Structure 1
């Protein structure tokens, strides 16, 4: 579909989106209104996002909606007559009301508080048919309920994040929130050293069918660490319900294979869950680059490279979680998880460099064998103390993790007659032990939870080491390697973050809500080297405010304005001066002079849920960073480029997000969104400015067919992105899947294809500065087919117990 056709049909799509479903008569002659509020029968807490169906006197469905976050619902423009309600929600007994009269003399009916009782009955199968809305809005986040989306079978967390609001995942797996890759991804509210190190690869290890929801926080509350200029993503996996049950998933395909499953049981006081997964994924690319070296605006030489890579990444993870409740108010939880695998980066490369002065031509082939074995082991221990007053809670949390992250490469150069010219080997052995302690306390001032005070503290201690060595050959003897002293060193780095926060939430009777918070963070960083490079020490403080003002206009409409600040601290791979010279014409190194960046973010949001359940959210935002950390490339007269992160730019982004979700009829479910934004970079020190308008759109659909078949499709299109020194061309991704359920919906087979009509996908990149001008053409081979078998077994019961509290790290910059 070309751009002109897309924009011509977009208005009609939006109109149909907002007008689907059975419409109630709307005129001034129908002033009837029916309102109420759902609460838990035991705790008296509101029940948000429950389904409320409005029925006629004969029991025919007229329309329906979900309750707001405060548990309220409202049906308007009703004609006089008799009505009924059918109320359903997962974990609660259904409730029906009838004989509700709307008359001319009494057109307004307020049913007051309606109490729902929690379920405790045994279910015969591992299946709950009631599904939440695909997208929900909470005070400080948007929630994508992945478990309610049929398209999330047989994929990975990368596929799930592509459908979440405000997120972009490009063809290489790079994740961004509104164009910023400075984000923190949590798993069940806790950090992972693996997710911090290589996010795009780590997400491929998490099966999509294990994900319950994805929370996107662009303006996190004060209780969250201030790290991440773009925001925080929290991936929530499915919880163990009472009973014993498990699942098994097997995927086979030409580009991806995986085997995973879980098993757990939960009694009244004790629960245990084990899950594991192993996977392999192929990545195949071809890249061609032409780069001109510049001096005073004049060409000094030209480099041409053509590379081919065909690698298979392998990984695994396992998690063991235990929980014990001493009574209804005291419980402890313990978990142990481990990740591991290897991410190869091997390639073959043709190089040709032609120098103008002096006239010189260098031409050779290169073979690189690069490996990146890694591993992570993590322990979590937590204690939670509840009180008789609802929402009053004290939690103590501790965590220890140990990560090793090694890089090894062997690079061999040959002339065009295949004679060896040069050989180089390198190792970089990194170790990262980390301790974390955290305490949080929540105190409600009112029994309905409208006025809440939160306070807490956190201490993080990291000790990182990196031992790197480079050996290279001499021109007279290629087989003999000697140590390169100027490129070998031992780097030790320590970081300590101490933080304290306090916040208050106040809601009045007119449903205005004000959230005020502040977080004080003290960061100490120290780095030292064994030889040549002088040590460095940094000590700084940040007082981070957060303000959110929201108004619930009606139970279906709300508006919100917010402001906060975010920090991005450089991690060891940003600071480590180790030079990766696996491609000697394109060097990559860390920068020990990097300092944290501080971003300011303001938002204005409006959301509405129509009477037929369609949800629409509009969000206008502006983010600016004065000392933005950006990748900066320089090229010398020999055609060698060095890429290093520097605090050299002001980064500004202003945009508008649109997200929507709805069900049309009983079988079709649709969700999607789009973004239009203006990005601007300015670096006075480098004399570089870059800016432009960009947009992107995504659409996901699922249609249920008879005989337990379903069709699932999703796609996205982006005009690309802008960087400090360049710009990428447009890119897109689409997939189609067919699912067949059997064994009373406990088993399923899913046949999926990705980009079936694209082979390969091509993307261009243009970059430039005062030292170079480059054009790169990339080819990504993403056309794939896969078959997934899923089986759920066991029995369970619904449980209304509180979610287990775990540490939420946001203080480590993602790579």
Structure 2
């Protein structure tokens, strides 16, 4: 759309004007100062993550700027005018710390407060009143942070429910996640890979309870420290930890018509040793999907046509659990060792009943054949994963110098069983059927070393190396139904596939501040070498080398406004399923296969953004983005009237393969923000506008305009009673060979706090006035067109209960 492109360009020009104007005004302004320090535990000297640091002007009742400490407990205010201020630090379980006065002098604008020690609140915990408000959304220079723990209505459901509220992120009705309209997202949980072999990432996310999530970090242009994989960027789910001494924990339960889950957390800390354990389980109750597919195929002359209609009804259930144990040991004040172990399980059971009709006729209307059949099928998937890690962190006398070592490993075993049986009306043809048993194993080991060296006050270098070892063993045993009613092994569909991938990486990155903090930024480059081996007899999977640079520049206009520009080079490696060349023929009319020769999809991401924060915790972000992906990995479908595979002939087959198809460009505008209207009402909204084009040599470009929007309203009925309404709409989108459906959903929830905020109970409903979510889509290609209507049950009602308990130990108890 030319109008949309023109709008994007105008906004980009305005943002560039803001940057240029700030350069001129800054050159004429007076020197501004900075305040920095680190918040640490008074006993362990460990940094206190997520503490709220508020800066007040002299005599002001409300802070004019506030922030949360990072994982090291550090905070850094910049561009502070000379004057007298008051600084407060708050964190649950600790006594409030007040530093007054804090003086910024014109001749000495830099103020370093060093380590600020917080003492445990002990028995007076319930009397502590935290006045500063933690922002639910934080637009940091290199990432956007959604503080789920600060949003009391985001504590129910699963991770995909929370992700729906995050700017730039969209989630469809199946739990598939996109970032800025791109599905190639690299997911991390506490900075570690979140994938489980054999499970879709949507299944993994739907096994993580929302109550476990502390915050969600969204990095559209990750730095060189992070893996280059994921052309969309990285989403990191940070789970809750605990630095409070004593014993504390929580229980969260929910029951509903579609989803039930529960989680239990227990934390214990004494002196330099901490222990955390959790268990969570969830079950998606019987859900139904109705699917009506209508495919019309024809020859080149279009004088003979075949219409194939499938009317499918598929009930399914999902369940799973997660458990984990973590021990951290402060060996000394500068040496921390953390060990974790976790277990995960996902189980899916589905059945299907499909009525099928295939009619072949001439363009004159004369019917050549009319075949009606019924197919029943069943799918059972079970995945079990174990993961463990050992992390060591070393700090030094020199402030900022740091060494980190990480060993992370996982092992997954899964079993996937599929079967289908087709019977024909009036016995016109013998019954046909197939059974497939597909067990697999996956092991991954990541070893990394990272080092940080501050060379000057405003300049530091980060460097590191990493090795990733992946090994997948997969076997498929397939039996086909004979005319005599017995199943025998089908050698053409029975195979073993071993896949090994090794990735060796190294990076160097700099963080800098120029011209008296006028410009801040990061720049780096990452090298990754990939070696791939498999036991394919006729195909070789190529290895590759890549260099992935990145750049981030930020300028703070004042204490509350900033502009930034970022660039990142990203890749998307083909996954195991994309490379596996063996045919999947569970549905003989729809066959899929992979391509071993696939190359990496590469992406270049540019973003120009403006952010503004307000004293009442409101915020605004406006960003313009441009992405270009080359060697675009796409699934494409080809229709074959007759298809021969492994000596067996199949009729009227849609064959879906993966391939590197041309390139894709994306131009977008993102506007997100939060507004605190008054003490009772607050709003959050996000609007993402995209214009995509798929460019394929020799073919006209395919694409168009799409949008995603959501709105969240929270209203405090009373101090202990909150209501929330959330709505999301995602438009349809034109892809390379199909038109993908749009969707919408809405949720209403009410929650009441009980027992001095130790417990809460709530009710929630999703799509209460719509039993089904309807999705219309279409696909097309040489010799065929297809339309599809998919209906899935989304209406649900539920009850949520949460309880927190603690026995906080004061300093005297902790020292005994």
When normalised by structure 1's length, the TM-score is: 0.86
Residue number among 675, 690, 695 corresponding to 1:662 in the alignment: 675
Task: Tell me whether 1:156 sits opposite 2:143 in the alignment.
Answer: no
Structure 1 residue 316: Cα displacement: 0.9
TM-aligned CA distance change 1:281 to 1:798, over 3 Å:
farther
**2:248 corresponds to:** 245
TM-aligned CA distance change 1:36 to 1:504, over 3 Å:
closer
Q: Distance in 1 between matches of 2:730 and 2:262?
A: 32
Paired residue secondary structure (2:204): helix
**1:354 corresponds to:** 359
Q: What is the CA RMSD across the aligned residues, in angstroms?
A: 3.1
**1:672 corresponds to:** 685
Equivalent residues in 2 for 1:520-559, closer than 5 Å: 520-529=527-536, 533-559=537-563
**1:142 corresponds to:** 144
**2:761 corresponds to:** 749
TM-aligned CA distance change 1:45 to 1:110, over 3 Å:
farther
Task: Tell me whether 1:277 sits opposite 2:290 in the alignment.
Answer: no
What's the CA shift string for 1:204-244, capped at 9, x where partnerless?
Answer: 11111111100001110001010001111000011122321
Paired residue secondary structure (1:486): helix
Q: Distance in 2 between matches of 1:122 and 1:213?
A: 24
2:53 and 2:68 in contact (8 A); partners too? no
**1:204 corresponds to:** 206
Per mean C-alpha deviation after superposition, the further-off stretch among 731-740 and 336-345 is 336-345
Task: Tell me whether 1:382 sits opposite 2:380 in the alignment.
Answer: no
Q: Distance in 2 between matches of 1:613 and 1:109?
A: 30
Per mean C-alpha deviation after superposition, the further-off stretch among 415-424 and 715-724 is 415-424
What's the CA shift string for 1:284-313, capped at 9, x where partnerless?
Answer: 211111111133373631111111111110
Task: Tell me whether 1:427 sits opposite 2:427 in the alignment.
Answer: no
**2:588 corresponds to:** 584
1:144 and 1:213 in contact (8 A); partners too? yes
TM-aligned CA distance change 1:797 to 1:701, over 3 Å:
farther
Structure 1 residue 545: Cα displacement: 0.8
Residue number among 710, 725, 728 corresponding to 2:722 in the alignment: 710
**2:346 corresponds to:** 341
Q: Distance in 2 between matches of 1:33 and 1:83?
A: 15
TM-aligned CA distance change 1:659 to 1:329, over 3 Å:
same
TM-aligned CA distance change 1:444 to 1:74, over 3 Å:
closer
Q: Distance in 1 between matches of 2:777 and 2:120?
A: 58
Structure 1 residue 778: Cα displacement: 1.1
Structure 1 residue 47: Cα displacement: 10
Paired residue secondary structure (2:186): strand
Q: Distance in 1 between matches of 2:406 and 2:666?
A: 36
TM-aligned CA distance change 1:512 to 1:84, over 3 Å:
closer
TM-aligned CA distance change 1:50 to 1:108, over 3 Å:
farther
Q: Distance in 1 between matches of 2:156 and 2:148?
A: 13
Structure 1 residue 709: Cα displacement: 1.0
What's the CA shift string for 1:520-547, capped at 9, x where partnerless?
Answer: 1110111214xxx514142210011111
TM-aligned CA distance change 1:791 to 1:528, over 3 Å:
same
Structure 1 residue 315: Cα displacement: 0.7
Q: Distance in 2 between matches of 1:119 and 1:798?
A: 12
Per mean C-alpha deviation after superposition, the further-off stretch among 83-92 and 189-198 is 83-92
Equivalent residues in 2 for 1:59-208, closer than 5 Å: 61=61, 64-67=64-67, 71-72=76-77, 85=86, 87-90=88-91, 93-95=96-98, 97=100, 117-124=116-123, 131-194=133-196, 197-208=199-210
1:50 and 1:89 in contact (8 A); partners too? yes
**1:777 corresponds to:** 789
Q: Distance in 2 between matches of 1:468 and 1:309?
A: 24
Residue number among 257, 260, 263 corresponding to 1:257 in the alignment: 260
Per mean C-alpha deviation after superposition, the further-off stretch among 218-227 and 658-667 is 658-667
Q: Distance in 2 between matches of 1:513 and 1:109?
A: 20
**2:38 corresponds to:** 40
TM-aligned CA distance change 1:461 to 1:110, over 3 Å:
closer
**2:665 corresponds to:** 652
Paired residue secondary structure (2:708): strand
Tell me, which stretches of 5 or more residues in structure 1 are unaligned?
Answer: 1-30, 800-815
2:86 and 2:102 in contact (8 A); partners too? no
Equivalent residues in 2 for 1:183-582, closer than 5 Å: 183-194=185-196, 197-241=199-243, 242-282=245-285, 283-296=287-300, 298=302, 300-356=305-361, 359-416=368-425, 421-446=431-456, 448=457, 450-474=458-482, 476-477=483-484, 479-508=485-514, 509-529=516-536, 533-582=537-586
Task: Tell me whether 1:643 sits opposite 2:664 in the alignment.
Answer: no
Q: Distance in 2 between matches of 1:297 and 1:721?
A: 31
Higher RCO (CA-CA < 8 Å; seq separation 6+): 1
Structure 1 residue 38: Cα displacement: 4.8
Equivalent residues in 2 for 1:732-811, closer than 5 Å: 732-796=744-808
Q: Distance in 2 between matches of 1:380 and 1:116?
A: 30
1:278 and 1:317 in contact (8 A); partners too? yes
Q: Distance in 2 between matches of 1:550 and 1:99?
A: 26
Q: Distance in 2 between matches of 1:688 and 1:486?
A: 38
Q: Distance in 1 between matches of 2:382 and 2:686?
A: 37
Paired residue secondary structure (2:587): coil
**1:811 corresponds to:** none
Q: Distance in 2 between matches of 1:32 and 1:389?
A: 32
1:614 and 1:660 in contact (8 A); partners too? yes
Structure 1 residue 669: Cα displacement: 2.9
2:197 and 2:442 in contact (8 A); partners too? no
Paired residue secondary structure (2:577): helix
Structure 1 residue 665: Cα displacement: 2.4
Structure 1 residue 442: Cα displacement: 0.7
Structure 1 residue 367: Cα displacement: 0.8
2:78 and 2:517 in contact (8 A); partners too? no
Structure 1 residue 649: Cα displacement: 2.7
Structure 1 residue 98: Cα displacement: 7.3
Paired residue secondary structure (1:757): coil
Q: Distance in 2 between matches of 1:798 and 1:286?
A: 58
2:87 and 2:102 in contact (8 A); partners too? no
TM-aligned CA distance change 1:391 to 1:304, over 3 Å:
same
2:590 and 2:655 in contact (8 A); partners too? yes
TM-aligned CA distance change 1:659 to 1:171, over 3 Å:
same
Q: Distance in 2 between matches of 1:497 and 1:123?
A: 48
Paired residue secondary structure (1:356): strand
TM-aligned CA distance change 1:494 to 1:297, over 3 Å:
farther
TM-aligned CA distance change 1:66 to 1:331, over 3 Å:
closer
1:688 and 1:769 in contact (8 A); partners too? no
Q: Distance in 1 between matches of 2:770 and 2:152?
A: 24
Structure 1 residue 690: Cα displacement: 1.3
Paired residue secondary structure (2:597): coil
Paired residue secondary structure (2:603): strand
Paired residue secondary structure (1:117): strand
What's the CA shift string for 1:393-443, capped at 9, x where partnerless?
Answer: 111111221112322111111234699722210111211122221111011
Q: Distance in 2 between matches of 1:698 and 1:798?
A: 44
Tell me, which stretches of 5 or more residues in structure 2 are unaligned?
Answer: 1-28, 70-74, 642-650, 812-816
TM-aligned CA distance change 1:290 to 1:332, over 3 Å:
same
Q: Distance in 1 between matches of 2:102 and 2:252?
A: 48
1:67 and 1:73 in contact (8 A); partners too? no
